[in-house]
Amino acid sequence: MQDRPTPPPKKKQSPTDFFKYSAMGLQMVAIMGVFIFAGHWLDNFLEFKKVPIFTLILCLVGVAVALWFFIRDFLKKK
């Protein structure tokens, strides 16, 4: 009889992986929320009622920062 090579054991995902990635998603939402809140506050403080320029700009900056943190954390955790 031939000896068959045993397949390598499959890596099971632990529940901690789920918590890591859900925490990263919550971190993204929190970062974007802080930047949107700051932009809204600046628009109200400087009385930009017609076009909420700071809300729009800081929203985009918040998305960029959140993605940067997400990618950095994702690559570090692999």
12-18: average pLDDT: 74
1 pLDDT above the threshold of 60: no
User: Looking at residue 5, what is its pLDDT?
Assistant: 76
45 pLDDT above the threshold of 60: yes
Rounded Cα–Cα distance for residues 62 and 41 (Å): 15
What's the pLDDT tens digit per position in 56-70?
A: 999 999 999 999 998
User: Looking at residue 33, what is its pLDDT?
Assistant: 96
40 pLDDT above the threshold of 90: yes
The CA angle 58-63-52, to the nearest 5 degrees, is 30
Rounded Cα–Cα distance for residues 57 and 43 (Å): 11
User: Looking at residue 42, what is its pLDDT?
Assistant: 95
